Structure 1
Amino acid sequence: MQTRDFSAELSKLTSGFTPIIDTTYKAEDYKFLDLSVTNPVLEGVDTSSAEAIQVYINTYLSKVGGTIAYGGYLEKRSIYDRSLYFSNTDEVLKRNIHLGLDIWCPQGTAVLVPVKGVVHSFKDNRNHGDYGPCIVLEHRLENLTFYTLYGHLTRSSLSNLSIGQMFEAGEILAHLGVPEENGDYAPHLHFQIIRDIQGNRGDYPGVSTLQNLDFYKKNCPDPQLLLKINTL
């Protein structure tokens, strides 16, 4: 299936705003957050600190009148420079282009399944700056097969899972972890759509190099195709 056709079919799976966290948060509670290298405000923020990022997000949400911050698909970010897991002196080979959508909200927030799927795999990715606890679901719907990834969870979210376990749309899959268990980030969900999981289990690259971006843009389409979060 061509990329354009795949994206169109994917978008048909949801008819409007589709919550991926606790449904007490409505579409109007979400505010777009720019964490890219082109945001001049971040020049005054210590992006190596989970605490500093959290303060910045809280201040931003207070200013714009929101409760949940979201964004990040294909953003080039500096926050990965702190981790040896991503660093490289060559700009073309540096992994700093984000492939998922981040939902910044309080630790312990429930993570929901947007469309029916089964547990493909899960793992606690403990590298500094990595996902921490991560779950991958497999979806076989109509003529589509694809995967969704949920990163930065609590370790307890993995304790009662089994491969092949079914989740219906809207069910609670997991909860968001604290920095000490989520890869050392301010609490948030990394949500990513993946066409070909390429043999990975409980993990998949969530940040790309400029060199590999064309491939990953095709293999990891915009999560907004499913979530349709208010962008106003």
Structure 2
Amino acid sequence: MQETAALEHPLNLKGVEIGKVVDFDPSADRLYPFNFTVSNTELSPEILADTAVFSDWIRDHLSKVDARYGIGGYDEHRTIYARSHHFDSEEEPRRLHLGVDIWGPAGTKVYNFYDAEVHSFKFNDHYGDYGATIILKYTINGQVFHALYGHLSLDSLTGLSVGQKIAKGTAFAAFGIPEENGHWPPHLHFQLIFNLYTAQGDYPGVCQFSQKAVFLLNSPDPSAILKHTFKAALI
């Protein structure tokens, strides 16, 4: 997880108790930082082309260091998106990641870190997309923002309604299997968003590098929330 910059974070969380996003015991569990930039030459096109092989690669790396989860990705220029035409365009492909990924087993519970309401949800069923997705709306210290939870199980969408209240600490979703999560190894894409504009159940989690400044301004570093889950657990 990228270290928080010295500048004040754009989210005002002063005096607010933030809850967990996943189960994690900093005294016993380990957290492995994945690198998906071009410098990771071990991650070959052959591995990325096969979701089952890619999933095994993720699982093997976590197992080797006895880590419960893998993490990383905010403001990371990634090569892995070449595996899907979903991120391509004629002028410039999308490669810059706007959230943090938490890699772990399918079925891993996802918790709401603060009282919220359902903004929208959707099954973004394209190869390389989010799959099952939930966006929650938060108001903290008078500031409104959203959190996008992507790559969830389809069951996570069952029974949801726009405007539904989700209490802090509620296990409201779970990591999906590849057939439900956009054909990725199981993980959670966690992204903060100020302005969703007209988006419903979807918002870019990857942008063109030329648009980096604009998108990062609207999607601040999720470490401000996730540090309350993981503490100082990076290995």
TM-score by length of 2: 0.87
- Identify the residue that residue 126 of structure 1 maps to in structure 2: 125
When residues 207 and 96 of structure 1 are mapped into structure 2, their CA distance, relative to the original with a 3 A threshold, is: same
Question: How many angstroms apart in 2 are the aligned matches of 1:37 and 1:13?
Answer: 38
- How many residues align structurally? 223
- Give how far 1:129 is off: 0.7
Does residue 1:103 correspond to 2:102, yes or no? yes
Question: How many angstroms apart in 1 are the aligned matches of 2:202 and 2:170?
Answer: 22
The one-letter amino acid paired with 1:20 is V
- Give how far 1:121 is off: 0.4
Question: How many angstroms apart in 2 are the aligned matches of 1:222 and 1:129?
Answer: 22
Q: Secondary structure at the match of 1:62?
A: helix
When residues 44 and 156 of structure 1 are mapped into structure 2, their CA distance, relative to the original with a 3 A threshold, is: closer
Q: Which runs of 5+ in 1 are unaligned?
A: none
Q: Secondary structure at the match of 1:231?
A: coil
- Identify the residue that residue 191 of structure 2 maps to in structure 1: 192
Q: Secondary structure at the match of 1:147?
A: strand
- Give how far 1:108 is off: 1.1
Residue identity over aligned pairs, in percent, reads 36
Range with bigger deviation, 72-81 or 185-194: 72-81
- Give how far 1:19 is off: 2.6
Range with bigger deviation, 203-212 or 78-87: 78-87
Question: How many angstroms apart in 1 are the aligned matches of 2:156 and 2:53?
Answer: 26
The one-letter amino acid paired with 2:181 is N
Question: How many angstroms apart in 2 are the aligned matches of 1:72 and 1:6?
Answer: 18
Deviations 1:64-83 (A, max 9, x none): 22121111111122221121
When residues 14 and 43 of structure 1 are mapped into structure 2, their CA distance, relative to the original with a 3 A threshold, is: farther
Range with bigger deviation, 105-114 or 43-52: 43-52
**Which of 10, 13, 31 in structure 2 is aligned with 1:7?**
10
Q: Secondary structure at the match of 2:107?
A: coil
- Identify the residue that residue 231 of structure 1 maps to in structure 2: 234
- Identify the residue that residue 76 of structure 1 maps to in structure 2: 77
- Identify the residue that residue 60 of structure 1 maps to in structure 2: 61
RMSD: 1.9
Deviations 1:81-116 (A, max 9, x none): 1212112365xx210111111111111111111121
Question: How many angstroms apart in 1 are the aligned matches of 2:14 and 2:219?
Answer: 14
TM-score by length of 1: 0.89
The one-letter amino acid paired with 1:231 is L
Indicate if the aligned counterparts of 2:12 and 2:141 stay in contact, CA closer than 8 A: no
Indicate if the aligned counterparts of 2:13 and 2:141 stay in contact, CA closer than 8 A: no
- Give how far 1:41 is off: 2.1
Question: How many angstroms apart in 2 are the aligned matches of 1:221 and 1:10?
Answer: 13
- Give how far 1:207 is off: 0.3
When residues 39 and 10 of structure 1 are mapped into structure 2, their CA distance, relative to the original with a 3 A threshold, is: farther
- Give how far 1:180 is off: 0.8
- Give how far 1:159 is off: 1.5
Deviations 1:117-141 (A, max 9, x none): 1000001111111101100000012
Superposed, 1:109-148 pairs within 5 Å as 109-148=108-147
- Identify the residue that residue 86 of structure 2 maps to in structure 1: 85
- Give how far 1:8 is off: 5.2
Does residue 1:20 correspond to 2:21, yes or no? yes
Q: Secondary structure at the match of 1:121?
A: strand
Indicate if the aligned counterparts of 2:194 and 2:219 stay in contact, CA closer than 8 A: yes
